[in-house]
Amino acid sequence: MSSIEIQNVSKYFQRKAPGTTATVTALEEVNLSVGHGEFLTLVGPSGCGKSTLLDILAGLSEPDAGQVLVDGEAISGPGLERSVVFQQYALFPWKTAAANVEVGLESLARGRRDLGRKQRRERAVEYLRLVGLEGFEDRYPSELSGGMRQRVAIARALAHEPKVLLMDEPFAALDAQTREQLQELLLQIWKRTGTTIIFITHGIEEAIYLGQRVAVMSGRPGRIQRIISIDLEHRDTEDDVRSTTEFGRYRHEIWNLLHASADSIGAKAGQPELALAGAAA
């Protein structure tokens, strides 16, 4: 339940080729504000800087210009009030599901008396139940399916009650059915906790289905191209909201934006077939 202000954020990378170093502009003057408890999805062509932006929000890397404010305060480094869910789960393979969920709690418990070993375990079990993994507490990640691993990762990200949840293509590696289950789960959790969520995806439908707003990025240099508010009237009544005409309109609009920017990138890079993997799917 925090607001996020991204102000004039730019990020450059030096790419060392033999002999020369080229500067890649990953992000240029990105501005974006996300409201308290908002669910914002972020789409854009591959390589446009989405992960770079998320890294900066997480505090894992610093912008070369501009700043990020969370509740009005500039961030410096990672913090427990901002949690990250990665596409590749990033679970600690030598820890059980419950022990993975407890990692953030252990950091939270530093300098606090009310979060002993027993309470942490209870909290971990509670959050595993929240993501539908009751009874799997003592399983190692290698003993879980991809969908279950991502559920553990979500529980781990939520257990210390962050104000912001940052997700980088969290469901991209999952099969369609599991992905839909987890989308549903995420919406439930969001409604229940009111956590501010920034969710990166390659899937246009996923972006429309989950987001209150969809931020569309364009690449080279990475910029926010357009922000589209999603207003699906029949969202709660319709069984299959993805097949309604309003949903189709949003999909078409975003598809056009992405293709326009992909064409321009293709023209620049001299390769018209530049990957827009999954975006059209």
Give the footprint of ligand ATP on this chain (CB under 6 A).
13, 15, 24, 26, 44, 46-52
Which stretches of the chain bind another protein, using CB under 8 A? 58-60, 77-80, 82-84, 86, 88, 90, 92-95, 103-104, 107-108, 140-142, 156, 160
- Three-state DSSP class for residue 58: helix
Distance of CA 77 to the CA centre of its chain: 18
Among 51, 178, 181, 225, binds Mg ion (CB under 5 A): 51
Rounded distance, CA 121 to CA 42, Å? 34
Residue 221, class by beta-carbon neighbours within 10 Å (0-12 exposed, 13-18 middle, 19+ buried)? middle
CB-nearer residue toward ligand ATP: 80 or 277: 277
Q: Give min distance, CB of 70 to ligand ATP, in A.
A: 20
CB-nearer residue toward another protein: 142 or 177: 142
Residue 267's binding partner among ligand ATP, another protein, Mg ion, none (Cβ under 5 to 8 angstroms by kind) is none
How do beta strands 196-200 and 164-168 pair? Answer: parallel
Residue 47's binding partner among Mg ion, another protein, ligand ATP, none (Cβ under 5 to 8 angstroms by kind) is ligand ATP
Q: Is the dihedral of CA 21, 24, 29, 33 positive or negative?
A: negative
Rounded distance, CA 135 to CA 138, Å? 8
- Three-state DSSP class for residue 63: coil
Which tokens in the block code for residue 183? 């989308």
Residue 83's binding partner among another protein, Mg ion, ligand ATP, none (Cβ under 5 to 8 angstroms by kind) is another protein
Q: Give min distance, CB of 47 to ligand ATP, in A.
A: 4
CB-nearer residue toward ligand ATP: 1 or 24: 24
Return the beta strands (E) in 99-174 as ranges.
164-168
Question: Could you tell me the end-to-end alpha-carbon distance of the chain, in angstroms, rounded to an integer?
Answer: 32
CB-nearer residue toward another protein: 26 or 262: 26
CB-nearer residue toward ligand ATP: 105 or 217: 217
